[in-house]
């Protein structure tokens, strides 16, 4: 193709808020597909890879960036500022990964408070030595002026609880193949789903895609953590008494964990017809408990280790509960 006929490159930004960094690594995981990405896009902002400052983004015209992949939840004032700034500067804002989609692992902090977290991290944890009881402050005066840190919020929020989001690409992290598919669909101008859609995932559940054997009306007397049983490699984890989030989780990852003989932990979030993953799991598990005796039922339920943390592992801020009221 003559140079004058070449399609203009899209301007791509990648940002990392409250997250572990795995989503940024998953972008790098495109391997040789990186050449297709580089051929189709100019990276205009990616703090872990490019030396571009926030003030450079602030100087961009509104809508200058074609697509921003925003990973990470909103946990402090810097995350919130960047969510609003990148929304303003981007034509398409994608919540990339579980943390921006539903709160992710950082969202488990909504089971406690900012004060309790600070107490644990800066005062009582086994590895803390802090005799002067120093804690981070949003402002600290020094001779040279005032040092500032972002304000740490009490609640972890999803990206769409702060700004409008065009698309959600779920996963912890999203499957790299799905990222490439979605990216190439945007680049080639393929017809995109309506704004607000989940992309790169299915409406079916993990169970719909799972190759493991299921029997009707399987009843169980106790639950186990995965290391407490000898998995037979073939039977549904739930039917072996191991909590698997398959019934409450969107498919599309290629049953990645189950293929590795580990139960699904729910990182793709619930399908559209499941408003709350915890409620769905309680209903799925309730049908399997092998007792009519209320006391025995409670004993069986007690064998589920950390049910709230397990059922909302990736989704508490985006669930109906949002947080524990304390
Ligand atoms: S509960 Fe888990 S193991 Fe069982 S069918 Fe569903 S995804 Fe597969
Ligand atoms: S199997 Fe479940 S936890 Fe594992 S990648 Fe897929 S959605 Fe995430």
Q: What is the pLDDT of residue 5?
A: 58
Alpha-carbon distances, residue 200 vs 1, 5, 134, 248, 293 (angstroms) = 30, 30, 44, 17, 44
Can you give the pTM of this predicted structure? 0.93
> For 183-220, b where at least 16 C-beta lie within 10 A, e where not — what string?
beebbeeeeeeeeeebbbbeeebbbeebebeeeeeeeb
Distance 211 CA to ligand 2 centre (A): 14
Tell me the domains of the chain and their CATH numbers. Answer: 2-105+154-198 (3.40.50.700), 111-153 (no CATH), 206-311 (no CATH)
pLDDT tens digits, residue range 112-125? 999 999 999 999 99
Give the nearest ligand 1 atom to 263 CA: 2
Residue whose Cα lies nearest atom 6 of ligand 1: it is 207
Ligand 1 mutation pick, 216, 231, 238, 259, max ligand atoms within 8 A of CB: 238
Query: Could you tell me what percent of the chain has a pLDDT over 90?
Result: 84
- Least trusted range by pLDDT, from 72-81, 175-184, 223-232: 175-184
Residue 1 has pLDDT above 50, yes or no: no
Q: Structure tokens of 80?
A: 């919130």
Write the DSSP assignment of 242-264 as a string of letters.
B---GGGSB--S-SHHHHTT---
Residue 191 is given by DSSP the state P
Distance 245 CA to ligand 1 centre (A): 7
pLDDT tens digits, residue range 166-224? 999 999 999 988 888 888 888 887 888 999 999 999 999 999 999 999 987 789 999 99
Give the residues surrounding ligand 1 with Cβ less than 6 Å away: 206-207, 210, 212, 214, 236-238, 244, 246-247, 258, 263-264
Higher pLDDT, 235 or 3: 235
Residue 144 has pLDDT above 50, yes or no: yes
């Amino acid at each position: 193709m003559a140079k004058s006929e070449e399609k203009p490159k899209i301007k791509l930004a990648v940002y990392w808020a409250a997250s572990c960094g795995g989503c940024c690594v998953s972008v790098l995981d495109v391997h040789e597909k990186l050449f297709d990405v580089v051929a189709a896009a100019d990276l205009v902002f990616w703090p872990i890879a490019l030396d571009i400052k926030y003030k450079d983004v602030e100087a961009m015209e509104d809508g200058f960036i074609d697509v921003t992949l925003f990973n990470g939840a909103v946990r402090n004032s810097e995350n919130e500022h960047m969510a609003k700034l990148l929304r303003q500067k981007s034509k398409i804002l994608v919540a990339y990964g579980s943390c921006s989609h539903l709160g992710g692992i950082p969202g488990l902090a909504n089971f406690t408070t900012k004060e309790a977290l600070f107490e644990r991290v800066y005062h009582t944890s086994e590895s803390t030595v802090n005799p002067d009881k120093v804690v981070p402050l949003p402002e600290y005066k020094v001779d040279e002026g005032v040092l500032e840190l972002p304000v740490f919020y009490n609640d972890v929020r999803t990206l769409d609880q702060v700004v409008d989001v065009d698309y959600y690409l779920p996963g912890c992290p999203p499957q790299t193949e799905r990222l490439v598919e979605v990216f190439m669909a945007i680049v080639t101008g393929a017809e995109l789903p309506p704004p607000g859609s989940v992309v790169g995932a299915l409406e079916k559940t993990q169970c719909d895609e799972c190759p493991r054997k299921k029997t009707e009306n399987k009843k169980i007397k106790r639950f186990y953590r995965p290391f407490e049983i000898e998995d037979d490699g073939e039977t549904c984890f739930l039917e072996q008494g191991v909590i698997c989030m398959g019934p409450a989780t969107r498919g599309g990852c290629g049953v990645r964990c189950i293929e590795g003989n580990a139960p699904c932990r729910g990182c793709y979030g619930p399908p559209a017809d499941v408003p709350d993953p915890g409620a769905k799991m309680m209903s799925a598990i309730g049908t399997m408990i092998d007792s009519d005796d209320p006391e025995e039922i409670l004993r069986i339920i007690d064998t589920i280790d950390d049910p709230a943390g397990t059922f909302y592992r990736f989704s508490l801020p985006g669930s109906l509960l949002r947080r524990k009221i304390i």
